[in-house]
Amino acid sequence: MVHLAGVSKRYGTVTALLDADLLIERGELLAIVGPSGSGKSTLLNIMGTLDRPTSGTLRVDGYDIGSLRDRELSALRARTIGFVFQQFHLAPGVRVIDIVADGLLYRGMSRRSRREVASEVLARVGLGHRMTHLPHQLSGGEQQRVAIARAVLGNPPLLMADEPTGNLDSHSGAVVMDLLGSLHAAGTTVVVITHDRDIAASLPREVRLKDGRIEHEVAR
């Protein structure tokens, strides 16, 4: 699903990622873990095609990212990758069903069709009873589940979750991790970026970063 070979990223004189070699097979569930400043966000941006590496080779879903133009890269990202961030980024004053449905705005679907798809996905993440609520009427865990529903709306084969439990209490965090596990069981490749070693240790594979380098890996 994702293959990095000798990938480095430099910002001026600062090397944020150095000679990263990483292969993520289709259908995996893994954690990328490390302290602040270890290179996790840089690696996320590279793997998610939000940024291009300074050197090395990156392939996503079989495509050589270095050979794609910006428009082609945007199209690949739109159909292949879903993103979940620590901040929920839910529009205030907009009903949950429309927050999710708006993810289909550029697919030429009618509003009714978009809402039908959104309602199905919200039911899938356990929020079928909260579709007409506003973000401020939801708990933190429910807001994160809305963000996940939005991310998987088009059934992307790869889901990248950046500190998905960072703003949640332990119970809500466990619910979100269970949901990510369910998505993985249904066939989605799930990459969790986290500083939480307990979360990392609970997943089948753990990739540890330190000072911009992949320090070591653990497979369970």
Looking at residue 103, its pLDDT comes to: 82
**Which structural domain, as residue segments, surrounds residue 111?**
28-45+70-219
Looking at residue 167, its pLDDT comes to: 86
Looking at residue 22, its pLDDT comes to: 97
Give, as one character, the DSSP assignment of residue 65: G
Residue type, 197: R
Answer for the pair 207, 39: CB distance below 8 angstroms, yes or no. Answer: no
Decide if 185 is inside a domain.
yes
pTM of the predicted protein model: 0.91
Looking at residue 207, its pLDDT comes to: 96
Looking at residue 135, its pLDDT comes to: 95
Closest CA to 49 of 22, 25, 72, 21: 72
Decide if 19 is inside a domain.
no
Decide if 17 is inside a domain.
no
Decide if 9 is inside a domain.
no
List b or e across 183-216, with b for residues whose CB sees 16 or more CB atoms inside 10 angstroms. Answer: bbeeebbbbbbbeeeebbeebebbbbbeebbbee
| Two structure tokens written together for 163 | 């500190």
Distance, in Å, from the CA atom of 100 to the CA atom of 151, rounded to the nearest integer, reads 9
Decide if 1 is inside a domain.
no
Distance, in Å, from the CA atom of 164 to the CA atom of 8, rounded to the nearest integer, reads 25
Decide if 107 is inside a domain.
yes
H/E segment holding residue 219: strand 213-219
Q: What dihedral do alpha carbons 6, 7, 11, 13 form, nearest 10°?
A: -10
CATH number at residue 32: 3.40.50.300
Sequence-distant (6+) residues with CB within 8 A of 174 are: none
pLDDT tens-place values along the chain, 220 residues long: 999 999 999 999 999 999 999 999 999 999 999 998 899 999 999 999 999 999 999 999 999 999 999 999 999 998 899 999 888 889 999 999 999 998 887 777 888 999 999 999 999 899 999 999 999 999 999 999 999 999 998 889 999 999 999 889 999 999 999 999 999 999 999 999 999 999 999 999 999 999 999 998 988 8
What is the number of domains present in the chain?
A: 1
Decide if 22 is inside a domain.
no
Decide if 51 is inside a domain.
no
